[in-house]
Each structure stands twice: as C-alpha cells, then as structure tokens.
Amino acid sequence: MTTALEMKGVTKYFASSDVLADDHVDFSVEAGEVHALVGENGAGKTTFMNILYGLVKPDSGEIFISGKKEIIGHPNDAIRLGIGMVHQHFKLVPSFTIAQNIMLGMEPNTLGVLRQRDENEDVRRLADEFGLPVNPKAVVRGLPVGMQQRIEILKSLRRNARILILDEPTAVLTPQEVGELVGVVRGLARRGCTVIFITHS
C-alpha cells in the first residue's frame, strides 16, 4: 500500500477563544484505507480535517499528498488535489434536483445553454459506477437524510476525490441508513479511495 496522505506537526491555536485545537499532530493514511478519527467533542478532529480541506489555516505543519508536499490554502486547492469533504451539515441547494446539485459549476452546456439531458445522464452513469443509485431528476427538498448524504458523496466523487473526509457521518442517520453508509464506504475503499471517518467516542 502507498501513503495517500501524511500530515506532520500540524498545530492550530485560536487566539480569540484561547483554544489550542491541534498541537503538533502527526497523521498518515494509506490509499484504500478507511481510517477513523475518534475523540470527544472539542478534541480538534474537525479542525484538523478542515485544515486538510483548506477551510482553516494552520499555524504550523506540513501536508503531503502521495508523498509530495502541498500547500492547501483554499478548498479549491484541496479539490484539485483529489480531496473531498462531506460536512456534518450538508451544502445542498434544496430547490435544485440531485443532478443540478452534483454538477453545480460543471454543467454541460452549448454556448451557455445548459444540456439538462446530458447532465442527468452524467449523474446516472456516476451513480451506477459507484453503486450509489439516485434519481437525477428528483428535487433535493424533502429527501431522506441518508439520500442527501449520498448526493454529497457523489458531488465529491464527480470532482475526482481520492481522499474523502466524512465529518460525523452517522450522527443524523437511521440505523438502516448507517448500514447503507458502511456498505458505501467499503465499496469506495475497494476502489482505492481513502476514507477518513470523523466520529466522537
């Protein structure tokens, strides 16, 4: 196995609240591995992963992706490097369809005119490829939480995520949805995707 991600000496201090969230933390994870970050609320898990995703700037430390040192100052940098993050509170547009949410910012078009049929087909192929069936035409508003989470995962996969961060992914799911999520995560790992699972003890 090869090292997909390594973080060395990562420190983050929030002066406004006098909180040392992460203190010289080292972390590494292999390609195709499912790795859990477990700890009490406030332990610094989400801050640590927000640093990886470019949402928080560390005070010190280094990040290596597939052995290469990288500077991640914005989520766009993380996405470019194949890092995706599904937040505890989803970032979906309720009035949009599943396809529109997944393809937002990448819509197929001809001279600025959106090709909705191509958009739906693109999402259907993606969902089939990863074994995450969805109805591309369904409007997100009112969908079960487990399905909304699936949409967020597909959004990251559409952006070619090879490292996927799931922040407290089971907190809002029913037992059946938790079982489905476990199956999804195992399937991603079999495909070589690295999954980091943030959860509390």
Looking at the DSSP assignment, which residues form a beta bridge with residue 195?
34, 164
β pairing state of 3-14 and 19-30: antiparallel
Q: Give the other-Cβ count within 10 Å of 108's Cβ.
A: 14
Residue 194 belongs to domain spanning: 3-200
Tokens of 94: 């309720």
Q: What is the pLDDT along the chain (201 residues), one digit of tens a residue?
A: 689 999 999 999 999 999 999 999 999 999 999 999 999 888 999 999 999 999 999 999 999 999 999 999 999 999 999 999 999 889 999 999 999 999 987 666 665 656 778 889 999 999 999 989 999 999 999 999 999 999 999 999 999 999 999 999 998 889 999 999 999 999 999 999 999 999 986
Structural domains in the chain (count): 1
Domain of residue 115, CATH code? 3.40.50.300
CA-to-CA distance for 118 and 167, rounded, in angstroms?
31
